[in-house]
Amino acid sequence: MSDSSLRLVWVYPDLLSTYGDQGNALVVERRARQRGLDVMRIDVRSDQPVPTSGDIYLIGGGEDRPQRLAAERLRRDGGLSRAASNGAIIFSVCAGYQILGHEFINDLGEREPGLGLIDVISTRGEGERCVGDVLADIDPQFGLPQLTGFENHQGITHLGPTARPFARTVIGRGNGTGDGTEGAYNDTVFGTYMHGPVMARNPQIADLLLKLALDVNALPPTDDRWYEALRAERIASATQPV
């Protein structure tokens, strides 16, 4: 890490920022500043090189064609892959999650190579889309409360032997494989299908990224009343009988 600031990189907001996913960058930045951290936020458009010196990288979701364009440009650029090799923290959502895997199905119906940063492969489901609120239990090793989010995807993501599920669903489809898994992670690279934005619903995930980037076990407490009110509202909505 820099001696002067935390470098937060928001990747391709012009292609990958559906369902308010840019809110994830806002939440991570705010929660860092609430702890007195100096934050340098860098928004990298798809016609710009991805810096390799960031501490935390965030990638959102997108439609099928922008997803293909983003994957092509990230492969050609190579900056995000080099950042991962340097130990950077990367958190991706939906289309961004699929891009970080080995391959996914693009808008042309073809297999599109990903970056291979998470050991997953994504295919396209033949049934109904995975749409609706999700509740899931995050991997216990992180010590985080239940995950709440909103999914809207046709993709089916299969985990390879070196990927671990980020969470296991209580409500919702998650990775769409029928095994209850939601998202995946390898070391410091994370993926999820959760929108919401996911950091606003789950600020403890933002704190997890900060702790990993800072290499600390705990952060000073902050006022979480707004976040907890939002969480309570969305969890109650998800658990109410239809």
Q: What is the per-residue pLDDT for 100?
A: 98
In a domain, 92, yes or no: yes
Of 94, 102, 153, 158, which one is the catalytic site residue? 94
Q: What is the per-residue pLDDT for 112?
A: 98
Residue appearing with tokens 């990638």: 59
Q: What is the per-residue pLDDT for 2?
A: 41
Q: What is the per-residue pLDDT for 177?
A: 96
- Of the pLDDT bands very low, low, confident and very high (cuts 50, 70, 90), residue 1 is very low
In a domain, 226, yes or no: yes
Tokens of 182: 């939601």
pLDDT per residue as tens digits for the range 95-114 = 999 999 999 999 999 999 99
- Measure Cα distances from 42 to 5, 132, 141, 197, 209 in Å: 12, 31, 30, 19, 16
In a domain, 57, yes or no: yes
| 195 among known catalytic residues | yes
Measured CA to CA, the distance from residue 196 to residue 19 in angstroms comes to: 7
- Measured from the Cβ of residue 228, the count of other Cβ atoms closer than 10 Å reads 12
pLDDT per residue as tens digits for the range 166-198 = 999 999 999 999 999 999 999 999 999 999 999
Encoded amino acid at 8, one letter: L
| Binding-site residue set | 129
Longest CA–CA separation in the chain, Å: 52
Of 102, 153, 158, 195, which one is the catalytic site residue? 195
% the chain with pLDDT above 90: 94
CATH number of the domain enclosing 97: 3.40.50.880
In a domain, 1, yes or no: no
Is a pLDDT exceeding 90 seen at residue 127? no
Residue range 155-160: average pLDDT? 97
Domain count, the chain: 1
CA dihedral 119, 67, 209, 176 (to 10 degrees): -60
Q: What are 92's strand-pairing partners?
A: 59, 191
| Binding-site residue set for substrate | 129
pTM of full prediction above 0.85: yes
Boundaries of domain holding 217 = 6-239
In a domain, 46, yes or no: yes
- Of the pLDDT bands very low, low, confident and very high (cuts 50, 70, 90), residue 17 is confident
DSSP-based three-state secondary structure for 184: strand
